[in-house]
Amino acid sequence: MVVVISPLQALVADQVRRYNIKTGYRAVSLSGSDAIAAFRENPDPGTRLVFMAPEDATSTAGRQFIANTPIKLGLVAIDEAHCIPEWGEDFRRAFRMIGTLRAVIPDVPFMALTATATEAVRSAVQTELHLTGEVVMGDLNRENITISRIQSTSMTSDFQPLVEDLQASGRDTKKHLIYLPTKQKCMAMFELLQDAVQGRGLVEVFHADLSPAKKKKVLEGLQAGDVRVVIATVAFGMGIDIPDVSCVISYGAPASVSQLYQQMGRAGRSSEVEAAYLVYHTTKEHEKAKPEVASILTEEGCLRKALLKHLGQSDMPQQDQCCSNCGGLTQDASCLLSERLPPAPKARKKPRPHREKTDNGGQLKQKLQQLRDQEFNLQPQFCFFGPCAVMTDETIDRLLKYCHRLHTKEDVKSVKGVSSTMVDSILAAIDEFFPEKSNQRNPPRRQGNPPRRQGNPPRRQGNPPRRQGNPPRRERIPPVRTTQGNPPETLRRSKRQQRNPLQEITNHV
């Protein structure tokens, strides 16, 4: 018997199902102390695989079971072993406790399995599990996956081709997996695509807060083909083996290169050429991302070679359809391969009046919460998520903050997280508690046209009388003429009459 320590319940359920169908032997999943005690008291002799979560394997009941299994234990296998250094520090500390099982069963070999292990991850796993054996690596290159790196413009424009394909093709749309970093962004994407298909069940969302029944329903719907697009966080992915996923999109910078490779690996499980996308938004993501991720976002050479080199594989033959940097990719129905038209120039907006400043913020917030509850009762597909799936508290706070700027339906739609079905009711609530100011600066318009002038003014009768005779001429006074070089007589006379004191003294002597 082999004990397999696996991190995800959805992964375990899929592996148990496939093992029971293909091998003829039996695999079981032991979750909780009651299930462990029941199998220990009444084991099935045909059982070959026992799946346990890290928390169950390292618990008191789990340690007692592994130390004394009812069927001889031949191996302990740790699946998705890269989670030990990635998750064991803060998220799930039980991963760091797996190595302590070596003291309980010192003679039983341990084996760690993962598809993405950098040199640092391999060293950390060997240290945590006290492994001394050989490291065996396979070929990490997935030749039938084309890798594209695209800079985003906006969520609406990026996925408009997918929206149109869903509306036109319905269940014939290729299967897509769209990974986003947070649950809030997942819900925003889900609302965008759900509005396009109008509740036909083609689009589903998957994250850690869903109930086990809902997670199982989403996974089974994708496997059966009823679900064509799954919007998920990193909680969806590891070990999911669905052969006809045609397009995987990592929308936003991933946490690590290993995570990016894991997400891309959900595609390419058939013989057809399939697509994987890394979509980044702005250059600010380069600064916030880890250095290893930033190097992929800014790589100017072959993306495939850079990705595999980071994972420890340097040899890779050249291939025709490789990545967006190498070129030569063919377009298909995938959502981000369509050619984008340049944005239309924005028309200049006329200034609009502001709203009255009142103290009705609390009443408006209460009204918006009531509208959200009413919409939630009308949307049964949100019953697993709660009213915040319709409109989050952050969206309500944004509406309160910017309500003085919201005057039209387009203004309300521009607020992030507002459902298109609630635009009219939200605008009416804002008008109720914050009415628009009347524009007092502009004078009132003139009513009608001024009265027209009646008739023409009377014409002047006759010509004015002519002036009688000519006016007397002005007498012209001739100027005083002087001979050049001789001053006038009056000037000569005044000079002779001037007294000269020196001459008088001389004359006296």
d(CA 104, CA 108): 9
Smallest CA-to-CA distance from 359 within 400, 405, 395, 409 is with 400
Rounded to the nearest 10 degrees, what angle do helices 33-41 and 60-67 cross at? Answer: 20
pLDDT reported for residue 293:
84
- 138: buried, middle or exposed (CB in 10 Å: 19+, 13-18, 0-12)? exposed
Q: What is the DSSP string of 111-168?
A: EE--S---HHHHHHHHHHHT--S---------TTEEEEEEE-S-HHHHTHHHHHHHHH
pLDDT reported for residue 333:
41
Specify the DSSP element, H or E, that contains 214. helix 212-224
pLDDT reported for residue 385:
73
pLDDT reported for residue 468:
65
**Integer angstrom CA distances of residue 120 from 116, 117, 262:** 11, 8, 17
d(CA 317, CA 57): 42
Give the tokens for residue 464: 């004015």
Starting at the edge strand that comes first in sequence, how are the strands of the sheet with 26-30 ordered? 26-30, 47-52, 2-5, 75-78, 110-112
d(CA 16, CA 241): 12
d(CA 463, CA 358): 73
Look at the block and give the residue holding tokens 């001389």. 506
Helix (H, G, I), strand (E, B) or coil at 27: strand
Domains 2-129 and 145-310 share a fold: yes
Question: How would CATH label the architecture of 145-310?
Answer: 3-Layer(aba) Sandwich (3.40)
β-bridge partners, 4: 51, 77
Q: What is the DSSP string of 58-103?
A: TSHHHHHHHHT-SS---EEEESSTTHHHHHTTTT-GGGGGGGGGGG
Q: What's at 135, amino acid-wise?
A: V
Residues 6 or more apart whose Cβ sits within 8 Å of residue 441: none
The sign of the torsion formed by the CA atoms of 18, 21, 22, 26 equals positive
The stretches of 402-457 forming alpha helices (DSSP H) are 409-413, 423-433
pLDDT reported for residue 341:
45
Cα-atom radius of gyration of the chain, to the nearest Å? 43
d(CA 278, CA 321): 16
Q: Give helix then strand counts, H and E, for the chain.
A: 20, 11
HSE-CB of 213 using CA atoms within 13 angstroms: 3
pLDDT reported for residue 339:
45
The sign of the torsion formed by the CA atoms of 298, 302, 303, 307 equals negative
List pLDDT tens digits, range 364-387: 899 999 998 888 888 877 777 778
- What is the pLDDT tens value at each position of the chain, 509 positions in all? 999 998 877 678 778 888 888 888 899 999 888 999 999 899 888 899 999 988 999 999 999 999 999 999 999 999 888 878 776 565 677 888 888 999 999 999 999 988 777 788 888 888 888 888 888 887 778 777 888 888 888 888 888 888 888 888 888 888 888 998 888 888 988 988 888 777 678 899 988 788 878 888 888 888 888 889 999 887 676 656 777 888 888 888 888 887 888 888 777 777 677 777 777 766 666 677 788 888 888 888 888 888 888 887 777 777 777 888 887 666 554 445 444 445 555 555 555 667 778 888 888 899 999 998 888 888 877 777 778 888 888 889 889 888 888 888 888 888 888 888 889 999 999 988 888 876 545 555 555 566 666 666 666 666 666 666 666 666 666 665 555 555 555 555 554 555 555 555 555 55
Give the tokens for residue 18: 């496939």
pLDDT reported for residue 311:
81
pLDDT reported for residue 194:
85
**Integer angstrom CA distances of residue 427 from 282, 367, 430:** 32, 11, 5
d(CA 357, CA 341): 42
**Integer angstrom CA distances of residue 322 from 143, 145, 350, 487, 489:** 8, 8, 49, 111, 117
pLDDT reported for residue 37:
92
- 440: buried, middle or exposed (CB in 10 Å: 19+, 13-18, 0-12)? exposed
d(CA 117, CA 495): 123
pLDDT reported for residue 87:
66
Which class would CATH give 2-129? Answer: alpha beta
- 183: buried, middle or exposed (CB in 10 Å: 19+, 13-18, 0-12)? buried
pLDDT reported for residue 352:
60
Q: Structural domain boundaries of the chain?
A: 2-129, 145-310, 361-433
